[in-house]
């Protein structure tokens, strides 16, 4: 399972939602590689399989959230450290106290070696509601936010140019409804009941989901009106990666002017747009940092997320006439953005990249070195053949239940393979001289 390569401290870096996490984790992996780590970057399924199959019990497992005690204990038996950077807990979360009560499973606190957070407010909330986690907390900012810097905008230049050629000037709506059907509510409630909760928590969660679904239906009616109004600027709706785009098409498939599209990550869409409309999402803060006009839609029945940074950096609109007026002002270049907002406590941005801060923190663990992971040649060939067959089936929808297919295409479209990783790596850090290889299907090895 190993070759003659030098043993190194190892990071296991699974990607769950490619459109949101991929490029930032490539950057993190390369910076870690330059500082002496060997990094395995890949789909969650493939990285978990590698951890089960590797020899020894070393390395650092870097994940996007908590895990149930049984799953986390299994990982800790195969690795030395388990660290978390939760990309669900960004500047768009209204009730951080509730989120931090839920996102790390109660009873697993001692298994979390480090919890990297986006801002000081998060550390304050953890101290209040989960003090047993406080010793693991480190305020570093996010690799994803690193990519908002002017230095990295060139990464998207080709995609921006392509989008501008395809669509001209447009307003982008970034969705975060999450709940687009009664079926989704039922599924989420079933999942919630697997975790011990009080009846009040069940009620809170169900009411929140029902409000989000009602907001989605209200927005559908708004979009139909927009589509019929020839004076309204072009609008493109970008579903959230967690949303089943089939529900959007079911409700809005007959529209002629408004488009519903989910292609790749959101950054090039944001930078190609003239302005952003949202109802509470992290992309609103990215737009504000990049000086793109930001509108917060107040329609619907959910409580306004007025405590979030996403709300505070936006201009609020509710009535159709105001929405139209603001969008026309954006297109004409007459829009006046929200007043300057102090983002520092909710969004930590330093001269030093968050990636550097995180890697320096991981170095302090001084984990044991491990040999490089290698499959026998025959097994590797079978894995790649079988993987490519399944990707081909997924592209065409052969043999997949519609719901499972839609979820797979949202989360891991195109897989994580060498050509794309190498392309992104070259744009992110042109002077990177390390090695990048695909050593298992959907598993990339990056080392300096």
In this structure, the answer to whether residues 178 and 308 fall within a common structural domain is yes
In this structure, the answer to whether residues 315 and 213 fall within a common structural domain is yes
Q: What is the CATH number of the domain that holds 179?
A: 3.40.50.2000
- Output the six-digit token pair for 157: 């230049």
pLDDT at 3 over 60: no
Q: Mean pLDDT over residues 12-22, rounded? A: 94
In this structure, the answer to whether residues 267 and 323 fall within a common structural domain is yes
| pLDDT bracket for residue 278 (50, 70, 90) | very high
In this structure, the answer to whether residues 137 and 157 fall within a common structural domain is no
In this structure, the answer to whether residues 124 and 168 fall within a common structural domain is no
Q: Mean pLDDT over residues 208-219, rounded? A: 93
pLDDT at 169 over 90: yes
Domain for residue 62, yes or no? Answer: yes
Least confident of 226-240, 283-297, 386-400: 386-400
- Residue 267 backbone dihedrals phi, psi, to 5 degrees: -55, -50
Higher pLDDT, 111 or 414: 111
CA dist 27 and 146 (Å) reads 9
In this structure, the answer to whether residues 312 and 359 fall within a common structural domain is no
pLDDT in tens, 359-395: 999 999 999 999 999 999 999 999 999 999 988 888 7
CA dist 378 and 443 (Å) reads 17
| pLDDT bracket for residue 401 (50, 70, 90) | confident
CA dist 12 and 5 (Å) reads 18
The DSSP output letter for 3 is: -
| pLDDT bracket for residue 188 (50, 70, 90) | confident
Burial class (CB in 10 A: 0-12, 13-18, 19+), 408: middle
- Strand positions, DSSP E, 212-265: 235-238, 259-260
CA dist 89 and 103 (Å) reads 9
Please enumerate in sequence order all residues whose Cβ is within 8 A of that of 430, keeping only pairs 6 or more positions apart, or say none. none
Return mean pLDDT, the chain.
92
Q: What pLDDT does residue 408 have?
A: 63
Q: What pLDDT does residue 378 have?
A: 95
Least confident of 109-118, 165-174, 323-332, 387-396: 387-396
CA dist 93 and 85 (Å) reads 15
In this structure, the answer to whether residues 277 and 170 fall within a common structural domain is yes
pLDDT in tens, 143-156: 999 999 988 988 89
pLDDT at 406 over 80: no
Residue position matching structure tokens 């190498």: 422
- Output the six-digit token pair for 10: 């190892």
Total number of residues shown for the chain: 448
Angle at 43 between CA 72 and CA 267, to 5 degrees: 115
Beta strands 171-174 and 81-85 are: unpaired
Range of the domain at 160: 153-332
pLDDT at 335 over 60: yes
Beta carbons of 266 and 163 less than 8 angstroms apart = no
Number of domains in the chain: 2
- Residue 268 backbone dihedrals phi, psi, to 5 degrees: -65, -30
Domain for residue 162, yes or no? Answer: yes
pLDDT at 2 over 70: no
CA dist 277 and 310 (Å) reads 11
Q: Measured between alpha carbons, how far is residue 243 from residues 177, 406, 411 in Å?
A: 8, 9, 10
Please enumerate in sequence order all residues whose Cβ is within 8 A of that of 259, keeping only pairs 6 or more positions apart, or say none. 167, 234, 235, 236, 237
Closest CA to 285 of 317, 316, 315, 309: 309
Beta sheet of 235-238, edge-to-edge order: 259-260, 235-238, 171-174, 275-278, 294-297, 315-317
| pLDDT bracket for residue 216 (50, 70, 90) | very high
CA dist 416 and 429 (Å) reads 18
In this structure, the answer to whether residues 308 and 399 fall within a common structural domain is no
> Model's pTM, two decimal places?
0.88
In this structure, the answer to whether residues 210 and 130 fall within a common structural domain is no
Q: Measured between alpha carbons, how far is residue 93 from residues 66, 102, 204, 311, 444 in Å?
A: 17, 13, 15, 10, 32
CA dist 428 and 152 (Å) reads 7
Domain for residue 236, yes or no? Answer: yes
In this structure, the answer to whether residues 304 and 375 fall within a common structural domain is no
Beta carbons of 384 and 442 less than 8 angstroms apart = no
Residue position matching structure tokens 């996403």: 310
- Residue 95 backbone dihedrals phi, psi, to 5 degrees: -105, 80
Q: What pLDDT does residue 365 have?
A: 97
Kindly state the percentage of the chain with pLDDT values over 90.
75
Q: What is the CATH number of the domain that holds 119?
A: 3.40.50
Beta strands 259-260 and 275-278 are: unpaired
In this structure, the answer to whether residues 115 and 245 fall within a common structural domain is no
Which residues lie across from 115 on neighbouring strands? 84, 137
pLDDT at 1 over 50: no
In this structure, the answer to whether residues 201 and 218 fall within a common structural domain is yes
pLDDT at 316 over 70: yes
Indicate the angle between helix axes 245-252 and 402-412, nearest 10 degrees. Answer: 110
CA dist 170 and 234 (Å) reads 5
| pLDDT bracket for residue 404 (50, 70, 90) | low
| pLDDT bracket for residue 196 (50, 70, 90) | low
Which residues lie across from 77 on neighbouring strands? none
Closest CA to 125 of 398, 275, 307: 307
Q: Mean pLDDT over residues 27-34, rounded? A: 98
Last residue of a domain, one of 273, 301, 332: 332
């Amino acid at each position: 399972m190993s070759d003659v390569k030098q043993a190194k401290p190892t990071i296991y870096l699974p990607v769950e939602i490619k459109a949101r996490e991929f490029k930032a984790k490539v950057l993190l992996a390369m910076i870690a590689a330059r500082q002496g780590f060997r990094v395995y970057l890949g789909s969650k399924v493939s990285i978990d399989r590698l951890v089960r199959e590797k020899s020894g019990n070393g390395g650092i497992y870097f994940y996007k959230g908590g895990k149930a005690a049984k799953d986390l204990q299994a990982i800790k038996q195969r690795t030395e450290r388990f660290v978390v950077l939760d990309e669900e807990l960004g500047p768009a979360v209204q009730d951080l106290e509730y989120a931090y009560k839920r996102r790390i499973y109660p009873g697993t606190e001692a298994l979390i070696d480090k919890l990297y957070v986006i801002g000081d407010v998060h550390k304050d909330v953890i101290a209040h509601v989960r003090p047993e986690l406080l010793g693991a907390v480190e305020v570093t900012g996010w690799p994803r936010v690193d990519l908002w810097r002017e230095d990295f905008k060139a990464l998207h230049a080709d995609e921006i140019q392509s989008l501008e050629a395809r669509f001209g000037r447009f307003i982008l709506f970034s969705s975060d409804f999450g709940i687009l059907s009664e079926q989704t509510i039922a599924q989420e409630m079933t999942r919630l009941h697997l975790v011990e909760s009080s009846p009040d928590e069940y009620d809170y969660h169900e009411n929140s989901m029902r409000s989000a679904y009602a907001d989605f239906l209200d927005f559908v009616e708004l979009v139909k009106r927009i589509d019929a109004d020839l004076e309204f600027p072009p609008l493109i709706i970008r579903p959230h990666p967690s949303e089943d785009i089939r529900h959007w098409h079911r409700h809005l498939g007959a529209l002629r002017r408004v488009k519903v599209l989910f292609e790749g990550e959101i950054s090039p869409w944001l930078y190609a747009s003239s302005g952003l409309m949202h109802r509470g999402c992290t992309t609103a803060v990215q737009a504000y940092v990049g000086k793109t006009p930001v509108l917060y839609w107040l329609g619907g029945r959910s409580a306004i997320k007025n405590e979030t940074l996403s709300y505070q950096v936006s201009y609020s609109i509710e009535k159709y006439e105001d929405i139209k007026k603001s969008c026309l002002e954006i297109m004409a270049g007459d829009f006046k953005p929200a007043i300057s907002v102090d983002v520092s406590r909710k969004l930590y941005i330093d001269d030093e990249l968050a990636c550097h801060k995180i890697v320096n923190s991981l170095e302090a663990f001084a984990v044991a070195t491990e040999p490089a992971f290698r499959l026998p040649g025959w097994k590797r060939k079978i894995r790649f053949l079988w993987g490519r067959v399944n990707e081909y089936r997924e592209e065409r929808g052969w043999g997949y239940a519609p719901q499972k297919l839609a979820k797979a295409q949202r989360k891991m479209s195109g897989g994580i393979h060498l050509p794309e990783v190498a392309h992104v790596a070259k744009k992110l850090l042109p002077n990177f001289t390390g090695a990048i290889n695909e050593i298992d299907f959907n598993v990339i090895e990056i080392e300096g």
